[in-house]
């Protein structure tokens, strides 16, 4: 198997009937909430409205999602996971880590532009609950995808191998998030430019080149 053939998301394990039902409930609640966000505006929607629209008791909603930011995060993670899975065939055709990462960041910029109204509350929630929700709610899969890309590049001699792919992926993901936060704070800025700067920093570091 070649490096490009092995570049693909790991198949998810069968979660079992009870877990499948729980995930279906999470998806239903988050999808209902997002429909209300789109129709009424994120700030205007209450948890009580979401419970009523989803036809569940308020206690059921709060048991799964304590705040509406958690519903937003679940929905956006589902969108991102689907987008990332659809992107893998295009990534296989690219020859280098830099080209593959650029392709991901270009797609991320386009997606983020269309979801800008939601990214402020999403990122505040995401950064405040980086670990606590991981066991109960599916993530976008971006960090494992980064780790896979980095491991492939290390095996091909394109990236340094003295740091683990997981560690490098962790740093890359926070560069990604940092670029997005900077873009949100600067009206009129280009997210593609912010991502290009993050990519340059990841690949080349911040040290000044020798003359």
Q: pLDDT (tens digit, 9 = 90+) per residue, 44-93?
A: 999 999 999 999 999 999 999 999 999 999 999 999 999 999 998 999 88
Residue 127: what pLDDT?
84
- Phi first, then psi, for residue 86 (nearest 5°) are -70, -20
Asked if 36 and 53 count as a contact pair (C-beta separation under 8 A), the reply is yes
Query: What's the rounded Cα separation, in Å, for the pair 198 and 177?
Result: 10
- Model pLDDT, residue 1: 32
d(CA 179, CA 198): 7
Q: What is the pLDDT of residues 120-145, one digit of tens each?
A: 999 999 888 765 555 566 678 888 99
Per DSSP, helices labelled H in 16-158 are 17-40, 47-54, 58-64, 68-92, 97-114, 116-128, 142-155
pTM of structure: 0.84
* pLDDT confidence of residue 4: 39
- The pLDDT, as a whole number, for residue 130 is 63
């Amino acid at each position: 198997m070649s490096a490009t053939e092995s570049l693909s998301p790991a198949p998810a394990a069968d979660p079992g009937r009870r877990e499948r039902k729980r995930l279906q409930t999470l998806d239903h609640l988050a999808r209902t909430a997002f429909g209300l966000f789109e129709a009424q505006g994120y700030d205007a929607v209450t948890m009580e409205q979401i419970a009523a629209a989803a036809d569940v008791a308020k206690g059921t909603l709060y048991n799964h999602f304590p705040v509406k930011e958690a519903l937003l995060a679940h929905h956006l993670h589902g969108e991102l996971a689907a987008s990332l899975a659809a992107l893998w065939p295009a990534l296989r055709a690219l020859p280098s880590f830099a080209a593959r990462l650029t392709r991901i960041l270009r797609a991320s910029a386009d997606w983020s532009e269309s979801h800008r109204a939601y990214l402020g509350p999403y990122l505040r929630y995401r950064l405040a609950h980086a670990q606590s929700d991981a066991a109960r709610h599916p993530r976008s899969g971006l960090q494992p995808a980064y780790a896979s890309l980095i491991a492939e590049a290390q095996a091909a001699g394109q990236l340094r191998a003295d740091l683990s792919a997981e560690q490098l992926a962790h740093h890359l993901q926070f560069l990604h998030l940092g670029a997005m936060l900077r873009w949100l704070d600067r009206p009129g800025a280009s997210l593609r430019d912010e991502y290009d700067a993050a990519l340059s920093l990841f690949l080349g570091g911040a040290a000044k080149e020798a003359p």
